[in-house]
Amino acid sequence: MTTPATQAETMEIEQTPRYAIGQWQKKEIDGTELMRRLMAWKHWSIAISESAAAEMIATNAAGRIMYNRDQNGVGRIFIYSDNAAYASFCKEAGVTGKQLFLSTSGDWIFRLELEDISEIVIDPFTPTEIVYATEHFERLNEMAKAVQVEEALAKLRFQPETADEMIPVVRDYANYILPVHRVDGGMVLAMAPDSQGRDLAAVFTSAEAFDAFEPVWKGEYPDKELLLFNLSGIELFAQLVKMNLDGVVFNCKGPVRPIAFAVGIAQLILDSVPQAESAAV
């Protein structure tokens, strides 16, 4: 007799890439949500050589990854979501012998420069195999960077002891979205909804996060048009620090958890800018 899965076990299963890919195959989630779920997985395995493993031990840095190139010159990276996926691959491909792996997060993998790679193959030779080709790489890279900064924002807010590590990630992100609208010939920031009536700037880390906000804002202001500015971290916080705000909310309507800060976050980030860059802000 089997024991029913606990709520925690069920939640863990639902976070796995296999589960997410299965949902996508059944059209229960779209391709964007699938990408986000793959980025969020922290237990990917990717093959590395013995020399790369030795380098990792010596330098405490991620080693060079291995990739395959077929007779037609197509370069592929194979990545595995768990041990069972690699076992299935070995069985179907007739692979034997020892292989070393780097265990890493999805956002790290998809932020890699993939100049010699044509395809990323996830869980090859399994029912949930999925292939991303070169036309997807730019989107994957953008989303990986967004997921990285979203996690950094959450840690900065709720784990302040990580500030020294997280502030550079937040500062150096290059794709913040700041929506504004016209009022009396000028530009005014779009504000995040707030039950206390505070002026909280709405800032977004990705297009899908803005897309979740736009219909809510348009429902309140149907006759106004939002204009979008794409800003680097330094540009964003240099603007926010000049404004009479109560705070800032990142991704106030999802798809990830909204993160709110007091307005002092802007000066905190700017104070971290290296002196040469700070002079140019």
The CA distance from 278 to 281, in Å, is 5
Residues 189, 89 share a domain: no
Q: Over 60: is that where the pLDDT of 11 sits?
A: no
Q: Over 60: is that where the pLDDT of 7 sits?
A: no
Residues 91, 33 share a domain: yes
Does residue 150 sit within a domain? Answer: no
User: Residue 113's pLDDT band (boundaries 50, 70, 90)?
Assistant: confident
Tens of pLDDT along 240-259?
A: 999 999 999 999 998 999 99
Alpha helices in 122-220 (DSSP H): 134-158, 163-172, 207-220
Tens of pLDDT along 57-76?
A: 566 555 568 888 888 888 99
Residues 167, 99 share a domain: no
pTM: 0.86
Q: Over 50: is that where the pLDDT of 124 sits?
A: yes
Residues 163, 86 share a domain: no
Does residue 26 sit within a domain? Answer: yes
Does residue 139 sit within a domain? Answer: no
Residues 107, 27 share a domain: yes
Residues 119, 193 share a domain: no
Tens of pLDDT along 179-195?
A: 999 888 788 999 999 99
What DSSP designation does 28 have? S
Question: How confident is the model at residue 271, as a pLDDT?
Answer: 96
Beta strands in the chain (DSSP E): 44-48, 68-69, 75-80, 100-104, 119-122, 130-133, 176-183, 186-189, 200-203, 227-231, 247-250, 259-262
Q: In the chain, how many domains are there?
A: 2
Does residue 29 sit within a domain? Answer: yes
Q: Please confirm whether the linkage preceding 255 is cis (ω < 30° from 0).
A: yes
Does residue 40 sit within a domain? Answer: yes
User: E strand or H helix at 121, and its extent?
Assistant: strand 119-122
- Residue 234's domain is classified under what CATH number? 3.40.1350.90
